[in-house]
Amino acid sequence: MRSDLALQLLSDLLWNALLISAPLLAVTLVIGLVVSVLQVVTQIQEASLTFIPKIVGAVIVLVVCGSWMLKRLVGFSANVIANIPSYF
């Protein structure tokens, strides 16, 4: 396998990983920030207070974007597996 091909595969892998995880990470980040601001305003310093909203947000994102995430992952995997003979 040539080094430029390996770098291209690694680049595609990291880009797909970023795209697939971005909706989930973005929603949990926003929910965490909102809950943290509410905790500062109300002076409620309970560490477990952020878990339930983050879990609910993550489940909603997975329900809404899960099929797209899975299609992207399966498409990338199928492309890599189909091109294995051309890598060597």
Q: Give the domain range for residue 37.
A: 3-87
Coil, strand or helix at 43: coil
List, for residues 40-71, the tens digit of each pLDDT value: 898 888 878 889 999 999 999 999 999 999 99
Domains contained in the chain, number: 1
Q: Which two tokens stand for residue 46?
A: 């309970």
- DSSP string of 15-73, one letter each residue: HHHHHHHHHHHHHHHHHHHHHHHHHHHHT---GGGGHHHHHHHHHHHHHHHHHHHHHHH
The pLDDT > 70 percentage for the chain reads 99
pTM of the model: 0.80
